[in-house]
Amino acid sequence: MSLKYAILGLLDQEPHYGYEIKQKFEHMMGDLWPVSYGQLYPTLRKLAEDDLVTMKTVQGKKAVEKNVYSITGTGSSFFSSWLLNQKKKVQISIKDEFTLSLFFLDRMDKYEAQDMLRTKLQELHEKQRKYADEYKLYTDNTPRYKKALTRKMLLHLDAEQKWIEELLQAL
């Protein structure tokens, strides 16, 4: 998923400085999609280079200058076009460190492999329990996107657990 669209969407609502963008994004997404300043500022620079956002330096509190980012007309049109695009990519990825380690499963002792898989399974159970507990607390006032994303995470975690259980049985 591209961070640039999230940034454009936030800036399409109102101008923000970098810290505000990060805070609003993390408030919106929770820990479903963390963002670092190492991702945020290069993305903002690229959006500015592409004339999708502008940056204005203003005097902040405590005599610190801040860069305020605003979406341009081109950026707003670009964001609207993306938002209405019916052909957005859905990322189904297995590019993670745990899955990579399974390429070398044959180099592990059977019991070490089982222990690694059981440890990962327990970690996933705990994560799923956390999201399930959070999901139960949602009310009618909880934004639809948050309900939908949390539900998607629960389904992904369920599938991952089933897959690991199959691997354990195969060993």
How many Cβ atoms are within 10 Å of 25's Cβ, its own excluded?
19
3-state secondary structure 118-169: HHHHHHHHHHHHHHHHHHHCCCCCCCHHHHHHHHHHHHHHHHHHHHHHHHHH
Across all residues in the chain, what is the average pLDDT? 88
Distance CA 127, CA 102 (A): 21
**Which pLDDT score is estimated for 49?**
95
pLDDT over 80 (residue 63): no
Distance CA 105, CA 146 (A): 36
**Which pLDDT score is estimated for 106?**
85
pLDDT over 90 (residue 161): yes
Q: How confident is the model at residue 52 (pLDDT cuts 50, 70, 90)?
A: very high
**Which pLDDT score is estimated for 133?**
94
pLDDT tens digits for range 77-118: 999 998 888 777 776 767 778 888 888 888 889 999 999 999
Average pLDDT over residues 2-6: 87
Closest CA to 124 of 89, 105, 103, 96: 96
* Cβ within 8 Å of residue 168, ≥6 positions away: 114, 117, 118, 121
Give, in order, the Cα–Cα distances in Å from 66 to each of 7, 17, 25, 39, 46. 17, 7, 18, 18, 18
Give, in order, the Cα–Cα distances in Å from 20 to each of 47, 52, 69, 142. 17, 18, 10, 22
